[in-house]
Amino acid sequence: MIELLNNPISTCSQKVRLCLHEKKLEFVNTTLDFRKKEHLSPSYLKLNPNGVVPTLLHDGKPVVDSSVIIEYLEDVFPENPLSPADPYDRARMRAWMRYIEEVPTTAIRVPSFNKAFVRHYSDLEDQALQANADDRPLRKHFYQRMGRSGFSEKETEASLQQLENTIKRMDAALAQSQWLIGDELSLADYCVVPTIDRMRDLGLSQIWKEAGNFERWWQAIQQRDAYQQTYFPGSRVSDIYTDLRDAT
């Protein structure tokens, strides 16, 4: 039995949902409410001491961290593989995954919080703002830097540059092959999809307007059943923060 403790709009959760659907694995989709801080409750912290989503429960055993989870699913459920058979290609896939985790996955948080989430903290008094940051085992300093009004211009600019670099790197790779690793879809592709979808949702799709290979890949991703299943209504920030709808 597989249960995914996650949140509809969380990019890290979407990455796991994409892989579960692509592998045609049935799972119980359990939503944690960020506004109620359910991901910071003592019972959830016992499963995931980082206080972030997603967490996979496999026969009751917790597996944490989205990339660890999708590799675990590959190990345990080899049917409908999303990892190449060749060890060298698997190493290339993991190198992409590490790059995606370090660069775009980190970068997208800055415009996401600036445009969507910071509004929840803008009226907090100093003490409440500090307490809110202190509550987050993994993200205390991130929330401190964000403060009440969002990330600095310098940090925002650096994030946008990182997102642009990612698109350029992907576009170059996709000139050589259909997917990031050769001609089979892999975990590497799905690792980056939630960042791209979020970029579009935040009105940042002009970044890839000249990237033809990337655009072909993005169109192909959006045709997949797993993509349609992952992005159900309510899974995009613009579904919740309606002022963002003009951006898309």
Ligand X SMILES: N[C@@H](CCC(=O)N[C@@H](CS)C(=O)NCC(=O)O)C(=O)O
Query: What is the binding site for ligand X (CB under 6 A)?
Result: 10-12, 39, 52-54, 65-67, 136, 139
Backbone angles phi, psi at 63, to 5 degrees: -125, 125
**HSE-CB of 123 using CA atoms within 13 angstroms:** 2
State the minimum distance, in angstroms, from the CB of residue 54 to ligand X.
6
State the minimum distance, in angstroms, from the CB of residue 56 to ligand X.
10
Q: Based on CB atoms, which residue is closest to ligand X, 54 or 111?
A: 54
Q: Based on CB atoms, which residue is closest to ligand X, 10 or 159?
A: 10
Alpha helices in the chain (DSSP H): 11-22, 42-47, 66-76, 87-102, 104-107, 109-112, 126-134, 140-146, 153-174, 187-201, 212-222, 225-230, 237-240
Contacts for 99 with CB less than 8 Å, ≥ 6 apart:
169
Please provide the DSSP assignment of 164-220 as one string: HHHHHHHHHHHTT-SSSSTTS--HHHHHHHHHHHHHHHTT-GGGGTT-HHHHHHHHH
State the minimum distance, in angstroms, from the CB of residue 75 to ligand X.
17
Separation CA 70–CA 89 (nearest Å): 17
Q: Based on CB atoms, which residue is closest to ligand X, 53 or 188?
A: 53
State the minimum distance, in angstroms, from the CB of residue 178 to ligand X.
26
Both tokens of residue 124?
Answer: 């907090």
Contact call for residues 111 and 203 (beta carbons, < 8 A): no
State the minimum distance, in angstroms, from the CB of residue 100 to ligand X.
10
Q: Based on CB atoms, which residue is closest to ligand X, 6 or 186?
A: 6
State the minimum distance, in angstroms, from the CB of residue 88 to ligand X.
25
Q: Based on CB atoms, which residue is closest to ligand X, 54 or 84?
A: 54
Q: Based on CB atoms, which residue is closest to ligand X, 12 or 103?
A: 12
State the minimum distance, in angstroms, from the CB of residue 212 to ligand X.
30
Strands ordered across the beta sheet of 2-6:
28-31, 2-6, 55-58, 61-64
Q: Based on CB atoms, which residue is closest to ligand X, 11 or 159?
A: 11
